[in-house]
Amino acid sequence: MPNQTPDLKLHPVVFESFSSVGSSGAKRSRTLMTGFDEYVIRLLNSYANRWQAFDSIVLLLRVTDLLKGGIISALLWWGWFRTGGDQKRSRAVILSTLVAAFGAMFTARGLALILPFRYRPLHNPAMEFQLPYGMMPEVLDGWSSFPSDHAALFFCLAVGLWFVSRPLGIVALLHTIFGISFPRLYDGLHYPTDILAGAGIGLAWFSIANMAFIKNRLIPPAMFWLEKHPMSFYAAFFLLTEQIATIFQNARSVAGLIFAVLARRL
């Protein structure tokens, strides 16, 4: 087996999530999807407040970093040190996946800022959303729901783990669907098309990062760093996966503070 990552081809479907970048296109796509979105959200919301224990479990999954990014970060470390198969290839896939995950998350956040605002289900008066037990109505108020940056980040990582190890990939995908995406649908933070668009962005970035001309420029320097100075490499790798575990909350806070200070000085 050659010691290189698979040269993945971009499929046209991958780019469907970007088809609504133009404002008019975004309005048309959301109008076409509204019936589907409302049907799914109303169906899920019909079960809210029936079983307090179930609502509490869903809330715990949604708000606990350990049960969201912590599990995916642990799977990344597992994949990094797994001894079966081609370890060099597996590590190259993980590195390119981490690069893709950064791009996917920031693309999703950027699109959420520039596309027409979309109210989240729990803030949409037309939905008459019934809050599940423990859900606070002001959560993410004023933040557009489309697309989901959680879906972009974690579907990208899950697909990367799939190319490292099928069992790890299956666990990561199931966790991303049921442990990360479902709670955000059930608690009214996203519509299904928010999740699908985010997943498409994640898949697109994974495909881009694994193109040969990009991969061959990104991976060799990182592998050289690992070989020559593993102490600093693993320190940086730990900090990166720790931020994935916390959904980059600390990094966002630091960046926000820096931007605020610069804005005042300018």
Average pLDDT, the chain: 84
DSSP state of 177: I
Least confident of 134-143, 178-187, 188-197: 134-143
Predicted pLDDT of residue 266? 62
pLDDT tens digits, 212-239: 888 888 899 999 999 999 999 999 999 9
The proportion of the chain whose per-residue pLDDT surpasses 70, expressed as a percent, equals: 87
Least confident span in 25-29, 157-161, 196-200, 232-236? 25-29
pLDDT of residue 93: 94
pLDDT band at residue 30 under the 50/70/90 scheme: very low
Task: Report the alpha-carbon distance of residue 41 to residue 248 in Å, rounded.
Answer: 27
Task: Count the neighbouring beta carbons within 10 Å of the beta carbon of residue 186.
Answer: 23
pLDDT, average across residues 72-95: 92
Tokens of 246: 């916390």
Domain range annotation of the chain: 14-265
Length of the chain equals: 266
d(CA 113, CA 147): 10
pLDDT of 11 reads: 38
132, 57 Cβ separation under 8 angstroms: no
Q: What is the pTM of this model?
A: 0.82
Across residues 171-187, what is the average pLDDT? 96
Topology of the domain comprising 14-265: Vanadium-containing Chloroperoxidase; domain 1 (1.20.144)
